[in-house]
């Protein structure tokens, strides 16, 4: 990505942006990718990217092929992944299951679905 003298970014077409995004995203230590803005350099911030392409962060990551197996994520990474899902979809187990997050995985990592709701300060919703 090229930043112009006025501080604005020179935005490529979305499909041309994705390889640059993959490079920037994977250059950040995998244990801290949940704080992309803080650790990435010479690249637009999450909100700028989402606003420019009118897409959610999770969608951009999925479009870039950065899909993760939920069982391989740390508790913190899984919590972040779930919060990204629920930022786009209804807050319920069904939304998580569409992304491979089972009730058993939730129980193993967070004790229960109710505890997960409390950790993220969310209220479950029907589909």
Q: What is the pLDDT of residues 73-127, one digit of tens each?
A: 778 878 888 988 898 899 999 999 999 999 999 999 999 999 999 999 999 987 5
Express as a percent the part of the chain with pLDDT over 90: 49
What's the rounded mean pLDDT across residues 32-53? 83
Torsion of CA 66, 53, 1, 59, to 10 degrees: -10
- Whole-number pLDDT of residue 117: 95
- b/e map of 111-122 (b: 16 or more CB within 10 Å)? eeeeebbeeeee
Q: Of 78, 88, 70, which Cα lies nearest the Cα of 116? A: 78
pLDDT over 90 (residue 52): yes
pTM: 0.69
- Whole-number pLDDT of residue 84: 85
Pure H helices in 3-74: 14-27, 36-39, 46-53, 57-63
pLDDT over 60 (residue 32): no
Mean pLDDT, the chain, rounded, equals: 87
- Whole-number pLDDT of residue 18: 95
């Amino acid at each position: 990505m090229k930043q112009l003298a006025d501080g604005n970014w020179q935005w490529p077409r979305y499909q041309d942006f994705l390889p640059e995004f993959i490079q920037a995203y994977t250059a950040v230590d995998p244990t801290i990718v949940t704080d992309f803005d803080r650790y990435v350099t010479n690249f637009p911030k999450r909100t700028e990217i989402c606003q420019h392409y009118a897409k959610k962060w999770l969608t951009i990551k999925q479009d870039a092929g950065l899909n993760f197996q939920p069982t391989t994520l740390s508790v913190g990474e899984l919590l972040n992944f779930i919060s990204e899902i629920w930022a786009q979809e209804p807050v319920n187990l069904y939304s998580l299951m569409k992304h491979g997050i089972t009730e058993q995985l939730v129980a193993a990592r967070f004790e229960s679905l109710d505890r997960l709701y409390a950790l993220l300060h969310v209220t479950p919703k029907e589909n």
